[in-house]
Amino acid sequence: MSDDIEIGRTTQLAIDGDRTASLAMWERAARGDFCTDVQVWLQHVAAAVLDADSKDAGRLRDSALVRAVGLANKIDKHRALRQFVEALDAFGCTRQQLIAAVRSGAPPPGIVCGAVDPSAYEALTDSELGKLIDRELSKPET
């Protein structure tokens, strides 16, 4: 494929080794969505798999294969929450507004940004959810 092909942000993140983006690309491939982004990404994965196969047998090859398919690193189960509250925090939302927004799954009126699945946090008290939001906001931006 030509080097001058434009690819989407998720595709670039997957190529760079982002686990969540890689899983999104695998989901697209599983659905049969072989658009240019998926083709570029699969070409990158195939080259990395072939390179990994050239490694010595054992953990070195195994870890290279896991990296090649984009599934290295830990699962970031609060990534969507962090991205959501980071966006709202940038708009100057208070802690109580952040908690309410997570509870509803949508930003406050007048703010346009993504959403979050509130069901993942419904078992938490407001205090626990507030502490989780504080921890996620203290992490480096995603």
- Indicate the domain borders of the chain: 9-68, 79-138
d(CA 119, CA 102): 9
Is the predicted pLDDT of residue 1 greater than 60, yes or no? Answer: no
**What is the maximum span of the chain, computed from C-alpha positions, in angstroms?**
56
Nearest to 41 by CA among 19, 11, 16, 67: 11
Predicted local confidence at residue 44, as pLDDT: 92
Please report the pLDDT score of residue 27 as a whole number.
Answer: 92
Alpha helices for 33-125 (secondary structure H): 36-53, 59-68, 79-90, 95-104
pLDDT confidence tier of residue 126, bands split at 50, 70 and 90: very high
Rg of the Cα atoms in the chain: 19
Within 13 Å and on the Cβ side, how many CA atoms surround 44?
Answer: 23
Tens digit of each residue's pLDDT (9 = 90 or more) over 48-100: 999 998 888 878 899 999 999 988 887 788 989 999 999 999 999 999 999 99
Helix axes 126-138, 79-90, angle to 10 degrees: 80
pLDDT band at 2 (very low <50, low <70, confident <90, very high): very low
User: Does position 7 have pLDDT exceeding 70, yes or no?
Assistant: yes
* pLDDT tens digits along 86-124: 999 999 999 999 999 999 999 999 998 888 999 999 999
Cβ-contact 42, 101 below 8 angstroms: no
